[in-house]
């Protein structure tokens, strides 16, 4: 009896308590989101809240099984779990059914499973095992290649499934890698690339390239203190553009300004790179490499946004950035969501009293837009409580991760915190118009077995690792 009590005390009960509270609150909100007088029984298993109760039961069973298993299983079989998740992702791509335009669901009997949700914990486990070995050097070329292979393989498959939202979740694991040694300049560069992504959507490629070129010249002057060389560098690029323009004009070709700028850039920059490499002029080499990488990224984003990205996602981004306004079309979901949340006021309209929710003004209100129900019925106060619970959960996970004696458990803990953080910020952000609608669930709240089970597995593996430290 004493050993059993000691075992129960070894579990981190604050995390488990917050998990149970969030799951319960989520279930109540799903009931409110789909409530109708014809189906008022809270145990009606023909409705979504009844089905969610079944998913919750199995989630609790999964949590108990995870806590009962030996912790070494998660380390020893980390790559095995990752391999199985990749197989299921490929199976969904080849044989899965289409839901909301994404080929990402496997039908098993009457139950639909989304492998992308379960691949999250498998990817975190694989990265934790790779990075958690003794004396791992994250900045070595071999290490970077292995990390990229593990991280981007599921991302590529999920993108092929046309599920951009789920693919973006994996990229947040860079926060986990930053804790394990990624340099500050890399995170600043990443932030700059995010800003560049937004600018490419708003402005033309000519404007973007001139901006990047000007920034390179400024950096050249600041860090190299070589104004004369910077002027020569800029003048040479301008001459290259003029030559290409004259060739196109008198050669019978019709080239726009955009094309002239891009051709001069992607001929001139590699030549400068080669020159700087062989002359061993590091500053020119690195700045030219910066210009080449950022210009290539901008061109890729421009092409991908206008030629590959589905039209509805283009419209959503344009609506978010203020380029286009269509509150009754592409912006309808977000517009109705903001109306519902705003109508809740400070204290909310009361449980089951939400008119926007009850009359189904907000699409997907029990899944991706479940936070609308919180905002309308519980108001600003209830929304703050929900966000605070998520914040406490994430901070608790980070605190526990830092006290781990093994790198594997620490890395995994930061992976768990990163994924939950991304889901909460983006899901809440898209319901209030701060982020584009990319279709990712709010952890423990949104309706669906795949999401609930995946987050339960993700969290309770970490609880087990902490219990066994």
- pLDDT 10s digits, 143-194: 999 999 999 999 999 988 888 888 889 999 999 999 988 889 888 989 999 8
Of residues 57 and 2, more confidently modeled: 57
Residue 390 CA to residue 397 CA, distance in Å, equals 11
Give mean pLDDT, residues 74-81: 95
Asked whether the beta carbons of 150 and 130 are under 8 A apart, the reply is: yes
What 3-state DSSP class applies to 361? Answer: coil
Instruction: Please tell me the total number of residues recorded for the chain in this structure.
Output: 469
Q: Alpha-carbon distance 243 to 249, whole Å? A: 10
CA dist., res. 58 & res. 113, Å (int): 14
pLDDT at 95: 87
Report the pLDDT averaged over residues 216-236.
63
Q: What is the mean pLDDT of residues 396-414?
A: 94
Q: Are 234 and 215 in contact (CB under 8 A)?
A: no
DSSP state of 39: B
* Dist. CA 148–CA 142, nearest whole Å: 10
Split at pLDDT 50, 70, 90, the class of 249 is low
Q: What's the token pair of residue 439? A: 């279709």
Helices (H), 132-256: 141-160, 164-171, 174-179, 184-202, 205-224, 227-250
pLDDT band at 250 (very low <50, low <70, confident <90, very high): low
List, in sequence order, the alpha helices (H) in 323-448.
332-343, 355-358, 370-402, 407-431
Contacts (Cβ under 8 Å, ≥6 apart) of 148: none
Residue 246 pLDDT greater than 80, yes or no: no
Distances from the Cα of 143 to the Cα of 134, 135, 147, 409, angstroms: 13, 12, 6, 19
The whole-number pLDDT of residue 451 equals 93
Q: What is the DSSP letter of 36?
A: B
Q: Which of 121, 198, 161, 22 is nearest to 439 (CA)?
A: 161
CB–CB of 447/52 below 8 Å?
Answer: yes
Higher pLDDT, 21 or 268: 21
User: Per-residue pLDDT averaged across 324-353, rounded?
Assistant: 79
335-to-233, 314, 331, 344, 356 alpha-carbon distances in Å: 49, 17, 6, 15, 12
CB 126 within 8 A of CB 78: yes
Q: What is the DSSP letter of 47?
A: S
Q: What is the mean pLDDT of residues 9-34?
A: 91
Residues 6+ apart with CB under 8 A from 131: 138, 147, 177, 180, 407, 411
Mean pLDDT value of segment 455-469 = 92
d(CA 68, CA 61) in angstroms, rounded, equals 11
Q: Do the Cβ atoms of 151 and 125 come closer than 8 Å?
A: no
Rounded distance, CA 108 to CA 50, Å? 20
Q: From CA 49, how far away is CA 53, in angstroms rounded? A: 6
Tokens of residue 33, six digits: 């989101």
pLDDT of 413: 96
Q: Is the pLDDT of residue 119 over 50?
A: yes
Identify the DSSP state of 102. Answer: E
Average pLDDT, the chain: 83
Q: Which of 219, 168, 152, 159 is nearest to 440 (CA)?
A: 168
Residue corresponding to tokens 């517009």? 335
Q: Is the dihedral of CA 88, 93, 98, 99 positive or negative?
A: positive
For residue 132, name the pLDDT band (cuts at 50, 70, 90). confident
pLDDT value at position 268? 60
The Cα 260–Cα 265 span in angstroms is: 8
pLDDT greater than 60 at residue 380: yes
**Reported pTM:** 0.86
Q: Is the pLDDT of residue 3 over 50?
A: no
Residues in a beta bridge with 112: 107
For residue 232, pLDDT beyond 60:
no
Per DSSP, helices labelled H in 251-354 are 257-279, 282-303, 311-320, 332-343
Which residue from 387, 333, 382 is spatially nearest to 361, judged by alpha carbons? 333
**Could you give the CA distance from residue 303 to residue 321 in angstroms, rounded to a whole number?**
18
CB–CB of 217/230 below 8 Å? yes
């Amino acid at each position: 009896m004493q050993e059993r009590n000691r075992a129960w005390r070894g579990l981190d009960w604050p995390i488990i308590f917050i998990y149970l509270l969030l799951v319960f609150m989520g279930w109540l909100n799903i009931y409110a989101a789909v409530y109708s007088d014809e189906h008022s029984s809270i145990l009606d298993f023909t409705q979504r809240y009844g089905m969610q109760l079944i998913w919750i039961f199995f989630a609790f069973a999964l949590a108990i099984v995870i806590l009962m298993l030996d912790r070494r299983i998660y380390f020893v079989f980390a790559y095995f779990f990752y391999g199985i998740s990749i197989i299921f992702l490929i199976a969904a791509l080849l044989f899965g059914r289409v839901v909301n335009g994404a080929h990402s669901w496997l039908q098993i009997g009457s139950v639909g499973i989304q492998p992308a949700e379960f691949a999250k914990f498998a990817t975190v486990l694989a990265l934790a095992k790779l990075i958690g070995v003794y004396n791992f050097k994250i900045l070595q070329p071999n290490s970077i290649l292995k990390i990229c292979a593990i991280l981007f393989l599921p991302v590529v498959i999920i993108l092929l499934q046309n599920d951009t939202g789920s693919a973006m979740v994996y990229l947040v694991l860079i926060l986990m890698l930053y804790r394990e040694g990624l340099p500050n300049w890399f995170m600043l560069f990443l932030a700059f690339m995010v800003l560049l992504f937004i600018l490419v959507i708003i402005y033309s490629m000519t404007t973007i390239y001139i901006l990047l070129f000007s920034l390179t010249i400024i950096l050249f002057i600041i860090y190299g203190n070589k104004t004369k060389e910077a002027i020569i560098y800029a003048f040479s690029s301008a001459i290259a553009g003029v030559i290409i323009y004259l060739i196109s004009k008198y050669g019978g070709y019709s080239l726009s300004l955009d094309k002239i700028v891009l051709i001069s850039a992607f001929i001139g920059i590699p030549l400068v790179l080669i020159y700087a490499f062989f002359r061993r002029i590091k500053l020119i080499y690195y700045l030219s490499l910066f210009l080449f990488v950022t210009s290539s990224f901008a061109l890729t984003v421009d092409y991908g946004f206008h030629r590959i990205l589905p039209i509805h996602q283009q419209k959503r981004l344009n609506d978010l950035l203020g380029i286009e306004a269509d509150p009754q079309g592409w912006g309808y979901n977000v517009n109705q969501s903001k109306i519902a949340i705003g109508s809740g006021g400070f204290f909310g309209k009361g449980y089951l009293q939400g008119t926007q929710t009850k009359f189904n003004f907000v699409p997907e209100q029990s899944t991706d837009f479940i936070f609308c129900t919180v905002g309308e019925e519980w108001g600003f106060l209830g929304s703050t409580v929900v966000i605070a619970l998520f914040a406490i959960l994430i901070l608790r996970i980070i605190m526990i991760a830092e006290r781990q004696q093994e790198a594997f458990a620490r890395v995994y803990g930061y992976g768990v915190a990163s994924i939950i953080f991304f889901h909460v910020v983006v899901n809440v952000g898209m319901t209030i118009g701060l982020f584009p609608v990319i279709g990712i669930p709010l952890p423990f709240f949104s309706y669906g077995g795949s999401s609930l089970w995946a987050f339960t597995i993700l969290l309770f593996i970490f609880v087990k690792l902490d219990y066994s430290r």
